[in-house]
């Protein structure tokens, strides 16, 4: 009867080592799992901004797409809730949708003083400086632009550099020169600021073309009320 030969010890050790290596590799693959699906880190693609224009979006390191980066992001964002919109660049809260009525200057001031919106009663008519912070898409009329009319320049000559831009080409709905989140007709909106030396003329902004001018207080304009600093 032939006796079964026992493999040499070195052969057994080699086989055991190979088995351990295979198991270790399989375990590593199992622990790692498949590569996550998604975009390629740091790649970019086009995306649509709230204004309808095209922005840029970058893939994060976790292979998910980041926010859509649009011109003016972080500077002009309005956060809207309960009919009011906060402008992070000015700290002001704006009435999102005006009443749709037209008012004389005195009527507009009374309307804002009596407005209750979002359970708040501290609404008021904006000053000229406040109103200009809403202008978007017309650099000359924006607060840092060449328009001289402001709280420190309310004389007639201050309107000479405030002619605005092309009609109805702003970023707002209908081409209004205000943020896309706001509603309403682009027409003229009162400020509480009176022309220097006058009690019968007040400043307003025409959001159809971002022109800053003044007219008689008994004329009719719309108004968008504010609260805040």
For residue range 25-56, what is the model confidence (pLDDT) as tens digits? Answer: 444 333 333 444 688 876 888 887 755 667 77
Q: Report the mean per-residue pLDDT for the chain.
A: 84
Q: Which residue has the higher pLDDT, 86 or 65?
A: 86
Helix (H, G, I), strand (E, B) or coil at 11: helix
Which DSSP category does 207 fall into? Answer: T
Residues 6 or more apart whose Cβ sits within 8 Å of residue 99: 111, 222, 223
Q: Which residue has the higher pLDDT, 88 or 95?
A: 95
pLDDT above 80 for 106 = yes
Residue whose pair of structure tokens reads 């719309």 in the numeric block: 222
In whole angstroms, give the CA distance from residue 178 to residue 138: 9
Q: What average pLDDT does the segment 120-125 reach?
A: 97
Helix (H, G, I), strand (E, B) or coil at 65: strand
Q: What average pLDDT does the segment 102-118 reach?
A: 97
* Residue 81 pLDDT level (bands cut at 50, 70, 90): very high
Residues 6 or more apart whose Cβ sits within 8 Å of residue 193: 127, 128, 129, 151, 154, 202, 203
Q: Which residue has the higher pLDDT, 95 or 19?
A: 95
Q: What average pLDDT does the segment 101-123 reach?
A: 97
Retrieve residue 226's tokens. 């504010």
pTM greater than the 0.75 cutoff: no
Enumerate the domain spans of the chain: 94-227
């Amino acid at each position: 009867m032939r006796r079964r030969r026992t493999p040499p010890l070195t052969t057994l050790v080699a086989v055991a080592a190979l088995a351990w290596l295979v198991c270790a590799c399989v375990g590593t693959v199992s622990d790692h799992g498949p590569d996550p699906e998604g975009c390629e880190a740091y790649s970019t693609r086009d995306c649509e901004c709230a204004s309808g224009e095209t922005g840029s979006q970058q893939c994060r390191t976790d292979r998910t797409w980041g926010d859509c980066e649009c011109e003016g992001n972080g500077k002009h964002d309005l956060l809207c809730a309960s009919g009011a919109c906060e402008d992070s660049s000015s700290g002001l809260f704006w009435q999102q949708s005006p009443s749709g009525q037209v008012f004389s200057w005195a009527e507009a001031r009374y309307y804002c003083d009596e407005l209750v919106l979002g359970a708040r009663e501290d609404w008021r008519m904006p000053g000229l400086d406040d109103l200009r912070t809403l202008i978007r898409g017309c650099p000359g009329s924006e607060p840092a632009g060449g328009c001289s009319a402001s709280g420190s320049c309310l004389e007639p000559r201050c309107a000479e550099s405030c002619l605005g831009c092309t009609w109805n080409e702003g970023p707002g709905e209908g081409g209004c020169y205000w943020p896309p989140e706001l509603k309403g007709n682009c027409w003229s909106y009162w400020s509480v600021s009176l022309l220097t030396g006058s009690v019968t003329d007040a400043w307003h902004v025409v959001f159809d073309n971002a022109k800053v001018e003044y007219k008689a207080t008994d004329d009719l304009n719309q108004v968008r009320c504010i609260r805040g600093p």
